[in-house]
Amino acid sequence: MNTTAPKFQRQDIGSANVRFPTGSSMPDPLDVAVDPYGGTKRTKGTNVKGFQAWPQKSGPFPGVLLLHDWWGLTSHVQDLTFRLALHGFVALAVDQYSRTGGAVASEAGHARELMGRLNHQHVMQDLLAAVEYLNFQDYVKKNRIAVVGFGMGGSHALSFAGDRRQLRAAVSFYGHIPLDKLGALRCPVLYHRAGQDDSVTDMALQQLSQKLAENKVVSEIQTYPDASRGFFDDTRPETYHADAAATAWGKTLEFLDRYILAEHAGLRPLTDKQRGF
């Protein structure tokens, strides 16, 4: 169960629908000083949509990217941004369907269709843009950012953690494990496994643990034997498991508190040259 008390009250939390460019860099503060209108000029290309919640108190605060399941950026996901903000995070739920219209599915067939339209490379590019967007905000602690994903978003969280080596932590709720990315993971990983979900195999989880151990990276795998895939979503009674969801949320908050700010052995920062900059 969650024993981490909220740091703020609901009236302390601000929220907004946000939009930011992908495929191009956010304007540098020096550029804005030279051209005050630079930050307001429309950029060519695609804009990513999202929903953000943050403490309206003196910061800065660490950031969390929140990645939705195949249903889209639902009211449940928006609620999670508030829950993270109450605990002192700037939470940005990224609409991974932005490039295809930002639809929200109500039934599995439509959700499967939406997920099938995704281009993985575009998703990774959009998540990188989301990190740059957060780092550009003066109320966000620079490069103190974690990613939390569910289902489809849980898979993307692990993939992105392999691509973005400055992430402080990655949490995946029953996401498929990208075996080709495991060697690149350099941040602590918390994986929540639904015990009734056969799509994530014991072998894949063993490979996750083994590869992260070889990388000298912290990993934790929590299994909920009676829970099905999707157990965290309280708007879907067919899969929701209240006890598993409460336990997983508490462990997630503790994990983020432990690793998103601390200088710890589980994180091995890379030089700019190693990151390819």
DSSP string, 39-56: GGSPPSSEEEEEEEEEE-
- Which pLDDT band holds residue 25 (cuts at 50, 70, 90)? low
What are the sequence ranges of the domains in the chain? 10-259
Q: What integer pLDDT is reported at residue 37 of this predicted model?
A: 47
Residue 164's pLDDT band (cuts 50, 70, 90):
confident
Q: What is the mean pLDDT of the chain?
A: 88
What's residue 38's pLDDT? 46
pLDDT of residue 3: 58
What stretch of H or E contains 260? none
Nearest residue to 224 (alpha-carbon basis) of 204, 246, 207: 246
Residue 216 has what DSSP assignment? T
Q: What is the DSSP letter of 13?
A: E
Which residues are registered as beta bridge partners of 150?
Answer: 173
Between 193-197, 250-254, 258-262, the lowest mean confidence (pLDDT) is in 258-262
DSSP 102: -
Lowest mean pLDDT across 105-109, 125-129, 156-160, 258-262: 258-262
CA distance 45 to 250: 39
Residue 52 pLDDT > 70, yes or no? Answer: yes
Measured CA to CA, the distance from residue 52 to residue 246 in angstroms comes to 23
**Domain 10-259: top CATH class:** alpha beta
pLDDT at 80: 98
pLDDT for the residue 30: 43
